[in-house]
Amino acid sequence: MAGQWERILYSREEDVLRITLNQPPLNILDIPMMKEINEAIQEARKEKGLKLLVIQANGKFFSAGVSVQDHTDDKVEEMTKVFHQMFHSLQELDAPILALVKESALGGGCELALFCDMVLVSEHAKLGQPEIKVGVFPPVACAVTPWLMGLKKSYEFVLAGDNLTGSEAKEYGLANRVIPAERWDDEVNRFISRITAQSSKVLSLTKKAVRTALDIHFRETISSLENLYLKDLMSTEDAHEGIQAFLQKRKPVWKGR
């Protein structure tokens, strides 16, 4: 199974399955990579006796986010559908999901990490939603961060576009633990062993119980945000200016329209 995809790795050891983003150093979520992630999650749903899905990454970044090149007019609709399908697929997975953010998770990469049931970060990690700086907004973060960090901090997180340190992410409810780099492997394995000591069936039912309210909210919200993104946001001059400025490596000139 590990050789089935080009951009990710898929491996199972006993009752833990790992999906590893494997386009270092930045692990940019382009359309082909997101399609592979979607396929891998569908495979994960077929796994028997699974107690935990771990989403991790090789490289400097967990993920630097969705490819800006895929935000252009000819690709943005497909990109949005494929991107949101990752979250719908994760939502349907019975087993708990753990994200391991050893370095930075930005933009869509941050959304992918935050949507997981649990998140471990290193002391060097940075989490951020910088989309506002290129004239767009992060739909998944807008849907879930008010539940995770409260309304006021959520507004600040997505409107300012600043990065959080690992310690700040934990303080604001976006991460379970901050782990020193020199103890990363030991502490991660210890955390995982506490989950896998439990019954796979009871784990899945307990996860379902905890996520019921959020899942209902997410299903009802994400389609509305998708329409807002594609029909309203992407028809503005500033969204196009922000994307073009990023691609041309210059500062955007906002027109407020």
Residue 167: which CATH number? 3.90.226.10
Q: Does any domain span residue 187? A: no
Residue 121 lies in a domain: yes
* Predicted local distance difference test score (pLDDT) of residue 3: 54
Classify residue 188: in a domain, yes or no. Answer: no
User: What's the pLDDT score for residue 236?
Assistant: 96
Tokens linked to 181: 């780099």
Q: pTM (2 decimals)?
A: 0.95
Mean pLDDT confidence for 86-102: 96
* pLDDT for position 40: 97
Q: Which residue do the tokens 């998770």 mark?
A: 105
Which band of pLDDT confidence, cut at 50, 70 and 90, is reported for residue 167? very high
pLDDT at position 2 over 70: no
53 domain residue, yes or no: yes
| Owning domain of residue 233 | 1-182+199-257
Mean pLDDT along residues 124-133: 97
In this prediction, residues 39-56 reach a mean pLDDT of 96
Closest by Cα among 21, 6, 137, 23 to 86: 21
pLDDT tens by residue, 169-193:
999 999 999 999 999 999 999 999 9
Assess contact for 15 and 52: CB atoms under 8 A: yes
Residue 207 pLDDT exceeds 60:
yes
pLDDT at residue 60 above 90? no
Instruction: Give the residue with greater pLDDT, 88 vs 3.
Output: 88
Mean pLDDT of 217-235: 92
Residue 118, domain member (yes or no)? yes
Residue 190 lies in a domain: no
Count up the domains in the chain and report the number: 1
pLDDT reported for residue 1: 52
Q: Is residue 115 part of a domain?
A: yes
Contact indicator for 62, 19 with CB cutoff of 8 Å:
no
Can you count the helices (H) and strands (E) in the chain? 9, 10
Band (pLDDT 50/70/90 cuts) for residue 113 is very high
Alpha helix stretches (DSSP H) within 15-125:
31-46, 76-91, 108-115
Element (H, E) at 161: none
